[in-house]
């Protein structure tokens, strides 16, 4: 088996993902950084998110998420066993409602 046949390894960096793979001819490793827009596309293929994943995906802090929840402006939550998840549909509806809130505030102000 050569290194060309091996799958690429994904390692986590500082809030970015780095994909590393080695070629058998040159024996060098090639890296590319996956930017936030790529992570958004990869994340949008998921069916549900943990609260931590949702916050990272939407670049909000967990404390802000819980403030939104207290005001009734957070996305719908679902319990699966002991886990609390946010469905992709609930996340999309939340984004739409946040757009509506923003537009309404701009018209008033």
Check if CATH label 1.20.1260 holds for domain 40-108: no
Mean local confidence (pLDDT), 82-100: 93
pLDDT of residue 23: 47
92-101 confidence digits (pLDDT tens): 999 999 887 7
Domain limits, the chain: 3-34, 40-108
Instruction: Answer yes or no: is pLDDT of 21 > 50.
Output: no
Instruction: Answer yes or no: is pLDDT of 74 > 70.
Output: yes
pLDDT of residue 107: 73
Alpha-carbon span 31 to 92, nearest angstrom:
32
pLDDT category at 33 given cuts 50, 70, 90 is low
pLDDT category at 47 given cuts 50, 70, 90 is very high
The pTM (predicted TM-score) of the whole model is 0.55
């Amino acid at each position: 088996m050569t290194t060309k046949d091996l799958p690429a390894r994904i390692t986590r960096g500082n809030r970015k993902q780095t994909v590393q793979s080695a070629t058998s001819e040159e024996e060098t490793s090639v890296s590319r950084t996956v930017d936030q827009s790529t992570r958004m596309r990869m994340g949008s293929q998921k069916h549900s998110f943990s609260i931590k994943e949702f916050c990272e995906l939407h670049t909000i802090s967990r404390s802000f998420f819980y403030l939104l929840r207290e005001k009734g402006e957070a996305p719908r939550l679902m319990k699966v066993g002991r886990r609390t998840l946010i469905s992709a549909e609930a996340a999309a509806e939340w984004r739409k409602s946040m757009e509506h809130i923003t537009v309404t505030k701009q018209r008033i102000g």
